[in-house]
Amino acid sequence: MQLKDSYDVIVVGAGPAGSSTAEACAKQGLDVLVLERNQEVGVPKRCGEGLSHNAVMRLKLDLPKKCIAQEINCAIVYAPNMKRIDIKFEGTEGYILERKIFDKWLAYNAARAGANILTKAFVHGVIKSDGFVKGVAATIMDEEREIRSKIVVAADGAESLIARKAGLRTNKKLNLVDSGLQYEMGNIKLENPKRIELYFGNNIAKRGYVWIFPKGKDIANVGVGIVPGSGKTAKQYLDAFIESCDELRNGSIIEVNGGCVPVGGLMKNMVANGLVCVGDSANQVNPIHGGGIAESISAGRIAGDVIARAIDANDFSARFLEKYNKIWWKERGEKLQRVEKVREAFEKMSDGQLNDLIDVLSGEDLVAFTRGNNLLKLARVMIKYNMKGIARAVGLG
Ligand SMILES: Cc1cc2nc3c(=O)[nH]c(=O)nc-3n(C[C@H](O)[C@H](O)[C@H](O)COP(=O)(O)OP(=O)(O)OC[C@H]3O[C@@H](n4cnc5c(N)ncnc54)[C@H](O)[C@@H]3O)c2cc1C
């Protein structure tokens, strides 16, 4: 592949957000370059790899079998007192992916659509002039390069630097980022490999939860997400949980992944002159479960359409690109903002209050809340159980 001096669009990062944006742009005939700092797309994975069937249908993803490690048809949610809600589905309700393959599949799709993708290409700066971002400075296979573009896409993940370098305020408040740590474990005892398990409680995972996402009959991603500054590290919570669990205690750790997960702070503005921000870099994650794969793909597609229109109109200004903010907020943001209220409510509850809720909520209720639906029921139950103050504080009452 011959690297050119300029492109219509440069996408920084080849995660789900970057590859989806690149594919959408390339499908509209744009000249696209994707720069990925790692030497292999999808590696290392930093993800529990869970994706709902609902999201697959909504996004019309023609998911190849090789991307799926395990199909899921039920779930258990444990309250702090270990009371449980069983959620059973008619058929396959979700997937534990093999992200190392899935991310590559997305990248190949972008490449097939015509995007040029380069790995081992670290973007360390943006070129700015006349108040516009006009390209990037990058180290590409040990060689320094400046490459121009009409629009740069910051798809560089949760620790994004690119948007900030371009002048966009993407600073994440500490309390709006979960610290995640996960082990991919082998030789564990799973009662049902088609079932995911979630454990809540302030002693188990302050503000977050522990997950067991099976990838085979004796393999699973076992992870924890917590609010930072809770006195213990994510590793301490995760190790304590594993030690307490007969099914996991003797398992082997085949892989360790960690990273931060935005769980709020949805950005009203995700564009600047010559720049669009997508995926984790714009905090586009479901605030209650931390899932960002589907959100990144949705946002990438919306961004791709708006970028194509901007290039067609020869207008790369923030004022034009604003359309992306508007469409994304209408299609995804408003829903995710409702979900954020649910997360805020749960995080303010004591273990006792969480136990009370588990007694009266069903699996369907929990699934609805994670999608920003049926919040009236949550508000009613909270009021019944003397949580009016919390409901009011988060805007549910
Ligand atoms: C522990 C953990 C568990 C998770 N579990 C789930 C889950 O089960 N389900 C789910 O849906 N989501 C989960 N997530 C969230 C999910 O992983 C992200 O939301 C998703 O990957 C976001 O996609 P993205 O493309 O925005 O960012 P990323 O996937 O992070 O991709 C960003 C890419 O940009 C590259 N990059 C960064 N900086 C530069 C640079 N300067 N130059 C060039 N390239 C650069 C990176 O190498 C990376 O490849 C989890 C996250 C964590 C941390």
* Two structure tokens written together for 345: 């409510």
- Note whether 148 and 135 are within 8 A (CB): yes
Residue 353 CA, ligand 1 centroid: distance in Å? 33
- Quick check: CB of 347 below 6 Å from ligand 1? no
Q: The whole model's pTM is what?
A: 0.96
Which CATH homologous superfamily contains domain 6-45+100-172+265-338? FAD/NAD(P)-binding domain (3.50.50.60)
Residue 20 CA, ligand 1 centroid: distance in Å? 13
* Two structure tokens written together for 50: 């869970």
Cα 284 to chain centroid distance, Å, stands at 7
Q: Average pLDDT by consecutive 10-residue portion of the chain (397 residues)?
A: 95 98 98 98 96 96 97 95 90 94 98 98 97 97 96 95 88 83 97 96 90 98 91 94 96 96 93 97 94 98 98 98 98 95 90 90 91 89 86 82
Residues ≥6 apart with Cβ < 8 Å to 11: 18, 21, 22, 25, 32, 33, 34, 35, 115, 152, 153, 155
Q: To test ligand 1's pocket by mutation, which of 47, 67, 281 has the most ligand atoms within 8 angstroms of CB? A: 47
Residue 267 CA, ligand 1 centroid: distance in Å? 18
Angle between helices 375-384 and 363-370 (to 10 degrees): 120
CA distance 369 to 378: 8
Instruction: Tell me which residue has its CA closest to atom 52 in ligand 1.
Output: 47
Q: To test ligand 1's pocket by mutation, which of 11, 37, 224 has the most ligand atoms within 8 angstroms of CB? A: 37
Q: Which atom of ligand 1 sits closest to the CA of residue 42?
A: 49
Residue 15 CA, ligand 1 centroid: distance in Å? 6
Output the CA torsion sign for 212, 346, 58, 103.
Answer: negative
- Note whether 162 and 17 are within 8 A (CB): no
Residue 42 CA, ligand 1 centroid: distance in Å? 9
CA distance 128 to 165: 10
CATH class of segment(s) 73-93+174-262? alpha beta
- Quick check: CB of 15 below 6 Å from ligand 1? yes
- Quick check: CB of 50 below 6 Å from ligand 1? yes
Domain boundaries, the chain: 6-45+100-172+265-338, 73-93+174-262, 340-393
Instruction: Tell me which residue has its CA closest to atom 18 in ligand 1.
Output: 292
- Quick check: CB of 296 below 6 Å from ligand 1? yes
DSSP letters for 201-265:
-TTTSTTSEEEEEEEETTEEEEEEEE-TTSSS-HHHHHHHHHHT-TTTTT-EEEEEEEEEEE-S-
Residue 58 CA, ligand 1 centroid: distance in Å? 21
Cα 358 to chain centroid distance, Å, stands at 26
Q: Is 118 helix (H, G, I), strand (E, B) or coil?
A: strand
Q: Is 100 helix (H, G, I), strand (E, B) or coil?
A: helix
Q: Which atom of ligand 1 sits closest to the CA of residue 285?
A: 19
Residue 46 CA, ligand 1 centroid: distance in Å? 6
* The pLDDT of residue 283: 95
